[in-house]
Structure 1
Amino acid sequence: MHTVWKGSISFGLVNIPVKLHTATENKDIKLRQLHKECHTPINYQKVCSGCNKEVQSEDIVKAYEYSKNKFVVLDEEELEKLKKENEDKAVEIIDFVKLEEIDPIYFERSYFMAPDSGGAKAYSLLRKALMESGKIGVAKIMIRSKEQLAVVRVYKETLIMETIHFPDEVRSAGDVPNIPSEPIVVQKELDTALMLVDQLTTTFEPEKYTDDYRTALMELIEEKKAGNNTVTTSEKQPAAPSNVTDLMSALQASLDKTKKKKPIPRKQTARTKTS
């Protein structure tokens, strides 16, 4: 499994050198857009809506729209200063909680954690402590200039790190429109519904669930390839611009600047500082 990042994670006075591996992968089939007439890939340009001119990256500044068509412009020096100030904050496990206390709506992305050189003993210690306590660790990290929460938990024989949303990033369920009030439920209908639930209840086996649309789409693509029903672009295809930010590089930059802090007295609810 390819290593995407090397660094360390700490709880209390224990520092664990680890390697991260992406735990999931996006298998969506990406379709390009072609010009119907000549089958050339379509490019997208950055055009100013005011002067209708194409602009380059160096001619673009960042701004916050605080009301319609009113902006606060922020220069790169200001943003870099804020980024550095926040990156200097230590990445650490700050609390231990129960997994069931976190609703799945909070979870984002997952990364496998493996011990790096010299970290096997501390890695095993944290894994065993989490297993025995039935708890997961809550940490703060910096990702792409954004402070974010993450949890560290046991998954099978490994530790896994998962980024999670802050509470104010989860919209209120009370704002969802057209939710019916509690109606009068007919007991016979409820009994039938519960019977159906009981009949469909089983043990979760993820392997039996497949992406039928993706499978059918790939079969269609392969069928067209086999029938030579393909086209070739009439012009050299330009390289697609890369808009993908290396998430783990941002995380590494944060973890590399972890500061030593004074140990704190042990408490019943563990709050930890980086060693």
Structure 2
Amino acid sequence: MPASRPIWKGQIRLSLVSIPVELFSAARTGAKPSFRQIHEPTGKPIHYEKVVAGVGPVDKDEIIKGFEYEKGDYVLLTEDEIDAVKLETRKTLELTQFVGACEIDPIYYDKSYFVVPTDELAEDAFRVIRDALRKTQKVGLGQLAMRGKEYLAAIKPSGTGLILETLHYEDEIRKADPFFSQISSKKAEADLLEVAEALIEKKTAPFEADAFKDHYQAALRELIKRKMKNKGRKITADEDEEPARPSGSNVVDLMSALKESLEGGGKTSARRKSVAKAETAKPAAKKPAASSRKKAS
């Protein structure tokens, strides 16, 4: 069982079958540098106090929540009153509908969580749901309440477990029309489309998440190391080294740019690289970052 604490405990219910489960966040926290606000003259961290105008600082136990229904007028709610709101979804995620795995527009997806059975007794039913979803290529939909909100959720198989992904509600998604209405629906020219399709095919490879790195966070960590090494001395722009990153050529003509990319500027498909290695047993002239981990199949 993972060392992290579950963010939700409850049960997944399908008709008369209930499976006790726990949810764990799929995203790691602390992976990025964390900054605090510092008072530059003294080098001390900034602190914030909870204050009331005309009163000053207040204690934590004097604070409750309020809903502003008119300017300056509030309905006050205590934590006990909020906790007393009873929703079945606080402890139960009922799978009320199933949809095709590709039917949900990615724009609705929000956060991902690992779903784990609480014990061996729950594992049998858990595996049945997992395998049934995988075989039918369906995603289970339901709702659950956690952290003061009721979420729309999708359940799908992943490896030996299940993944729960919270979804945005319809009214939380902006309409695309105001953003896309000025873009022409005219079809692209056939010759340009042909070259673009060839370039896409050339760059097509299996998805490997570890082939992509957060260059901004890496640069921040490098800056922090350099500042520590220089005893906090200010590092000017002249001292900064621009990280080596691929960049496109400044070609105005679209066809020329596409052809140049296709002929030599683009990276070769990782899959084709693997085949070439197997056939020739020779290293490629250029080894793209995304395919450097691929072995001959």
Same fold (TM over 0.5): yes
Amino acid across the alignment from 1:97? V
Amino acid at match of 1:2: A
1:108 aligns to what SS in structure 2? strand
- Decide which moves more: 178-187 or 6-15: 178-187
Report what 2:156 is aligned to. 153
Query: TM-score, normalised on structure 1?
Result: 0.70
Deviations 1:105-162 (A, max 9, x none): 1112212122222112111111111112111111111122322111111012211112
Cα 1:84–1:7 shift into 2, 3 Å: closer
Aligned-residue sequence identity (percent) comes to 33
Q: For residues 71 and 201 of structure 1, do their structure 2 counterparts lie closer, same or farther at Cα, with a shift above 3 Å needed?
A: farther
How far off is 1:59 after superposition? 4.9
- Name the counterpart of 1:204: 207
Say whether 1:80 aligns with 2:116: no
Q: Residue 228 of structure 2 is aligned with which of 225, 228, 234? A: 225
- Contact 1:86 / 1:147 at 8 angstroms: preserved in 2? no
Match of 2:99 among 82, 97, 100: 97
5+ long unaligned stretches in structure 1: 231-275
The residue that corresponds to 1:4 in the other structure is 5
Distance 1:88 1:23 in 2: 20
Match of 1:110 among 112, 126, 134: 112
Rounded to whole Å, the distance in 1 between the matches of 2:84 and 2:103 is 32
Q: Which amino acid aligns with 1:195?
A: A
Contact 1:138 1:151 in 2 (8 A): yes
- 1:63–1:71 contact (8 Å) kept in structure 2: no
Q: Which amino acid in structure 1 is aligned with residue 50 of structure 2?
A: K
Q: Distance in 2 between matches of 1:148 and 1:76?
A: 23
Tell me how large the CA RMSD over aligned residues is. Answer: 2.9
Give the deviation of 1:47 after TM superposition: 4.0
**1:101 deviation in Å?**
1.0
Q: Which of the residues 186, 193, 196 maps onto 1:193?
A: 196
Q: Residues 179, 78 of structure 1: CA spacing in aligned structure 2 closer, same or farther, 3 A cutoff?
A: farther
Q: Which consecutive residues of structure 2, in runs of 5 or more, have no partner in the other structure?
A: 234-297
Q: Which residue of 2 aligns with 1:245?
A: none
The alpha-carbon deviation at position 224 of structure 1 amounts to 3.1
Letter of the 1:161 partner, please give it: L
Shift in alpha-carbon separation, 1:143–1:88, aligned structure 2, 3 A: closer
Give the TM-score of the pair, scaled to structure 2.
Answer: 0.66
Match in the other structure for 1:39: 43
Distance in 1 separating the partners of 2:181 and 2:98: 38
- Paired residues of 2:154 and 2:166 also in contact (CA < 8 A): yes
Query: For 2:169 and 2:202, how far apart are their aligned partners in 1?
Result: 38
Partner of 2:34: 30
* Partner of residue 13 from structure 1, selected from 12, 16, 32: 16
SS at match of 1:210: coil
Give per-residue Cα distances to partners, 1:40-63, cap 9 Å, x unaligned. Answer: 001123344x54844444554544
The structure whose Rg is larger is 2
Check whether the contact 1:61–1:73 (CA below 8 A) recurs between aligned residues.
Answer: no
Task: Tell me if structure 2 keeps the 8 A contact 1:20–1:111.
Answer: yes
Measure, in 2, the Cα distance between the counterparts of 1:81 and 1:19.
20
Q: Distance in 1 between matches of 2:204 and 2:27?
A: 27
Tell me which of 141, 147, 156 is aligned to 1:138.
141
Q: 2:184 aligns with which of 181, 185, 203?
A: 181
Q: Report if aligned partners of 1:4, 1:22 keep a CA contact under 8 Å in 2.
A: no
Counterpart of 2:125 in structure 1: which amino acid? Answer: A
